[in-house]
Amino acid sequence: MSNEYPVLFRLIYLNGLRASEARLLSMDDVDPYAGTIVILDGKGNRDRIVYLSDDLTKLCREYISYLTAELGRKPSWVFPGIDPDKPVSYGSISSMFRRCWMNTSFASGCDRNPTTHCLRHAYVVKRINLWREQGLDFEHMLPYLSRFLGHKSFHDTYYYYHYVEEAAQTIRKRDTVTGRVIPEVMRR
């Protein structure tokens, strides 16, 4: 089966999950009606509840119905492997992600091959940029993001936030100090 990969990649990106957390989700960990997933024994043995958006909740319901019909029974794993009694392997996820990436228009212009973990990085950068655009204080929001990602400390979360052009543009839009302190540095 290969229909699980779009759901898997979307779940990782939209919720900042680790690929290992997503691949090891059992059917008991997902409530497709309440829109929650429980991450048990995440990295560092930290458990957490992740809330899904309405559209992702609906997608999960449809996917689980499809999967149950395809297998003729309710599977143990949300993302079963070739043997449906075992979870999909990390190697299979990586291989499919590479294949999907190579089919995008971005692949030819990229000097590095991204991995599924890059989806987690992208989630963090997008979330922080969104907060900055909304005028929210990043330092205030960091504990929430850190907990949501299952991190032990804020430093683990901040590691993900790379200084990217998108972030620089957001910072420049919100910057009210630089122009007053050093006027010649201000961009127009």
Query: For 173-185, how does the pLDDT look when each residue is reduced to its tens digit (9 = 90+)?
Result: 766 665 555 555 5
Residue by residue, DSSP assigns 50-111 as: EEPPHHHHHHHHHHHHHHHHHHTS--SBSSB-SSTTSBPPHHHHHHHHHHHHHTSTTGGG-S
pLDDT digits (tens, 9 = 90+) for 118-176: 999 889 888 888 888 899 987 888 888 988 888 888 888 877 765 555 666 666 676 66
The CA-based diameter of the chain, rounded to the nearest angstrom, is 68
Residue 28 three-state SS:
helix
**Residue type, position 80, single letter:** P
Task: State the pTM of this model.
Answer: 0.80
Q: Given the structure tokens 């212009």, which residue do they identify?
A: 109
- Ordered by where they begin, the domains of the chain are 4-109 (1.10.443.10), 117-177 (no CATH)
